[in-house]
Structure formats: structure tokens, C-alpha cells
Copies of this chain bind each other. A is one copy, B any other.
Amino acid sequence: MTDFDFNFWCAHQMDWVERSLNHWVSVSVCAGLNHHAPADLMAAMRYAVLDGGKRLRPLLVLAAFEAVSSGPSDWFIPIEEDVDEAARRGGDFESGGGVDETVLRAACAVELIHAYSLVHDDMPCMDNDVLRRGKPTVHAQFGEATALLAGDALQALAFELLTPESPTLIPQRSVLLCRLLARAAGCAGMAGGQAIDLASVGLPLSEFELREMHSLKTGSLLTACVMMGAACGDASLKALDALADFGRTVGLAFQVVDDILDVSSDCVTLGKTVGKDALQDKPTFVSLMGETRARAFTRDLLDRALQALLASGLSDTRALQGLARMVVSRSY
């Protein structure tokens, strides 16, 4: 097995994700329209998506794909041309050496769903937040109506990304990716989790109920990332089960860390308002079990996530391991 440098891997993948998002979330979608408003809407969509995300979800998609792809990956072949160059030549991403177009589309589609959920979640009728990733939130910058539409259009664009006219995308895979993403985003996934969140303000929740809320609100999309990455390659049922377990566990760890950061970090580091959970009297893992127990819980969850990878039978899960560690040790 070749040497693996997680930081190098992350930087390399992030670069592709950023360039792909920049390419696909583009005013060229509005080409041919005469009125400026759709392009202005796209500007709000780009503002919501570009510059500033951790890209954890796309990285999970890419790492899961790498884990299920047999043999040493060719992701480390130096890329000879960039996305823009490939686009200029009339081609698409498949011509950029060592990059699989399907998995890049899947990675970006998940990020668009995540970005739309943040835009809507920050709106006055939801969390009413004005700071995100160190910038004014979309509605603070562009107004509420545009924020609402930008979120809606980002969700549509996610599904458009997964169903291109490209001959390189196998239809069966396209359908599976759409299904995984739609279910994770919908009523029995992310949106349902947000509904529980809304219904829980000021109410006592048991740890069980809190877990269910987060398993939907955050966990379903994080689990979908891992499953979508796996769906871009070929994985055994045993591996899929283990990866789903990994996704759920990392999703839970992500949320516990979020709760810890909300009480222990500051606005500048976190890039968003801190201390809001306590202010809104929202139940959190910290309010429920205290900060010390919550921190110990994240370490347990990391162990369980790594165990799941061992149980998967996959030979190279180093990128997934690195991401799980990153989730637990992150400071923002």
C-alpha cells in the first residue's frame, strides 16, 4: 500500500470539489435569459455555496468511493489540466486525469443540499441567524425572498447535477444517487430532523430523543454521503452495512462536537454565532450530559466509527479514518 498523507489527500480533494462547485454552480445555467434576475439569484446561490465550507460531506463521498474502489487509487496521478481547461475544450470533468465525474457530481450534489439547508435554516422564521462561515447569512446579504428562492434552486440543482445528459453516467447509478439524496433530505431525513428541532425548543428531551433528532437532522445526510460514495463504486452488502454504521456514528459525533463547540468556542473561530443553543433553551448533548461526559462520548464514537471500518472488510479506509478523526478533533 502506498504512503498516505491525510492532509495532502484533503487538500487535493478539496481543490477538485471547489473547482467543481465553481463550475457547476455557475451563471452559465442562466445562459440565454434576458432578464438579470435569474443571474442575480445564481449570485446568491454561489454566495451560499462557494468560499468557506469545510466540505466534510463531499470529502466523505470521495473517501467512501476511494474505500470501495479496488486496488490502489489513481487519484494521486498529477492532474494535467484543470476543470476550466477541460470545459473550454468542450469536454467535461472526465478528461481531468484521475477524476471520476460521477463521484464528483455526487460530492457536489450533497454539498448543494447541505448549503440550501443552511440558507433556509438561518432565515428569520427558523434560527434567525445573521452570521455563517464568518460572513453575513444569505438572507442578511440578499434579502429573505431571494434566500428562500436560492435555497429552493440549490435543491433543484443538486438533482440536476445527478442526472446529466452525459454518457459517462450509468443510469442505474444516477437513479440510486438521486434516491439516496432525496430520502436523506426529505421528511424522514434532514427536513424531519429540523421539524423535531423546531418542536423541541424549551422542552426537555431524553438522550434517546435528542439522538433521534440529530440522526435525522445531520446524520441522515452524512450517512447518505458515505452510501453515495459507495454507490459510485462497487461494494459488498457487508461493506455497505459497515459504511452505513460508520456514517451514522460519525454523524452523531459531529453533532456532539457541534454542541461542545457552541459552549466552548468563540464567534471568530467558529464563524457563526455561539451560545445560541443555551440562549434558545435548546436541548443539547452538553446540557444533557455535561461537557466532560460529552467529550468522552465523542472519543467513544470515534472508536466505534473506526471499528465499523475494520468490520467493513475494505482494504483501504485511511481517508475515511482521517475524516472521522477530523470530525472529532475539529475546532470549528
Query: Measured between C-beta atoms, what is the minimum distance from A203 to chain B in Å?
Result: 11
A192 to B150, CA, bound (A): 9
B-side contacts of A188, CB under 8 Å: 29-31, 33, 38
B-side contacts of A193, CB under 8 Å: 38
- Chain A: how many interface residues by the 8 Å CB criterion? 68
B-side contacts of A186, CB under 8 Å: 29, 153, 156-157, 160
Q: Name which residue of chain B comes closest to A151, CB basis.
A: B152
Q: Is A148 an interface residue (CB 8 A)?
A: yes
A213 to B40, CA, bound (A): 14
Would you call B175 and A156 a contact (CB within 8 A)?
no
- Could you give 14 example pairs across A and B, Cβ below 8 Å? A29-B186, A30-B187, A30-B188, A30-B192, A34-B209, A35-B199, A37-B200, A41-B187, A125-B143, A153-B185, A153-B192, A155-B156, A160-B182, A163-B178
Q: Mark A35-58, 1 if CB is under 8 A from B, else 0.
A: 111101110010000000000000
Interface residue from B38, B126, B145, B171 paired with A172 (Cβ < 8 Å): B171
Would you call A212 and B159 a contact (CB within 8 A)?
no
Q: Name which residue of chain B comes closest to A116, CB basis.
A: B152
Per DSSP, chain A at the interface is helix
Would you call B33 and A146 a contact (CB within 8 A)?
no
* Most chain B beta-carbon neighbours within 10 Å: one of A152, A174, A181, A196: A152
Query: Measured between C-beta atoms, what is the minimum distance from A42 to chain B in Å?
Result: 5
Interface residue from B37, B38, B153, B199 paired with A37 (Cβ < 8 Å): B199
A53 to B201, CA, bound (A): 34
Would you call A179 and B195 a contact (CB within 8 A)?
no
